[in-house]
């Protein structure tokens, strides 16, 4: 489908193909790109920030707004806030780092709180995604995500409380015996 060339960053049009596959939640395209990539390319695709101009007119306007407002610059962050469970699983299973932070120190849990606050209609989808995270990752990994502080010195729990998206964290703490630590 696409020819992935050796380079330090994916360049257009290869990048657009990868980015669009993520936005479209196109599982077969994601798998195809990852299968055709070398180990080094795969690591760059999964764990380096998107190498694109956020003002590119070909990007979706909602994604531009989300990316610029919340610094969604990594593929795993994008699929998490969009609630794409299968794409998320593929990225993680191929080596995406769940502990990646944006320029403001926010991990995927912080970002999901910000999105739920910015768009109340998204909270239920994100609550379901949190439950998915609990099922996918060991309790210790979830604890590390929950204690991680951003540049404001807020962990995701404080972020959720401050933004008024308490339902998400009630779900987390009530499931799998997670309590304050």
What is this structure's pTM? 0.81
Locate 90 and state its tokens: 């593929």
Domain ranges in the chain are 98-181
Mapped onto helix, strand or coil, the DSSP state of residue 46 is: helix
**Residues with pLDDT less than 50, the chain:** 1-8, 12-13, 53-61, 176, 180-181
Residue bearing tokens 């060339």: 5
Contact call for residues 29 and 19 (beta carbons, < 8 A)? no
Residue range 48-96, pLDDT digits in tens: 887 654 444 344 445 555 555 566 778 999 899 888 999 999 999 999 9
For residues 165 and 111, the answer to whether their CB atoms sit within 8 Å is: no
168, with CB counted inside 10 A (0-12, 13-18, 19+), is buried
Distances (CA, A) of 177 to 77, 108, 113, 124: 26, 21, 21, 21
> What integer pLDDT is reported at residue 19 of this predicted model?
83
108 and 145 in contact (C-beta within 8 Å)? yes
- Whole-number pLDDT of residue 51: 63
Using an 8 Å Cβ cutoff, are 75 and 87 in contact?
no
In sequence order, what DSSP letters do the residues of 63-110 get, joined into one string? HHHHHHHH---SHHHHHHHHT-HHHHHHHHHTT--TT---TTS--HHH
**For the segment 82-95, what is each residue's pLDDT rounded down to a tens digit?**
889 999 999 999 99
Contact 96, 75 (CB under 8 A): yes
């Amino acid at each position: 489908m696409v020819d992935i060339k050796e380079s330090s960053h994916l360049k257009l049009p290869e990048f657009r193909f990868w980015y669009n596959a993520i936005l479209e939640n196109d599982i077969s395209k994601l798998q195809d790109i990852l299968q055709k990539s070398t180990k080094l390319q795969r690591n760059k695709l999964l764990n380096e920030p998107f190498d694109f101009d956020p003002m590119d007119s070909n990007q979706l306007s909602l994604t531009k707004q989300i990316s610029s407002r919340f610094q969604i610059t990594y593929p795993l962050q994008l699929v998490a806030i969009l609630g794409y469970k299968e794409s998320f699983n593929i990225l993680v299973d191929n080596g995406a780092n769940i502990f990646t932070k944006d320029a403001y120190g926010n991990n995927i849990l912080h970002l999901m709180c910000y999105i739920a606050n910015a768009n109340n209609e998204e909270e239920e989808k994100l609550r379901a995604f949190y439950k998915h995270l609990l099922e996918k990752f060991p309790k210790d990994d979830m604890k590390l995500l929950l204690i991680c502080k951003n540049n404001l010195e807020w962990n995701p729990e404080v972020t959720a409380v401050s933004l008024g998206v308490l339902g998400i964290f009630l779900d987390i703490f009530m499931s799998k015996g997670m309590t304050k630590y």
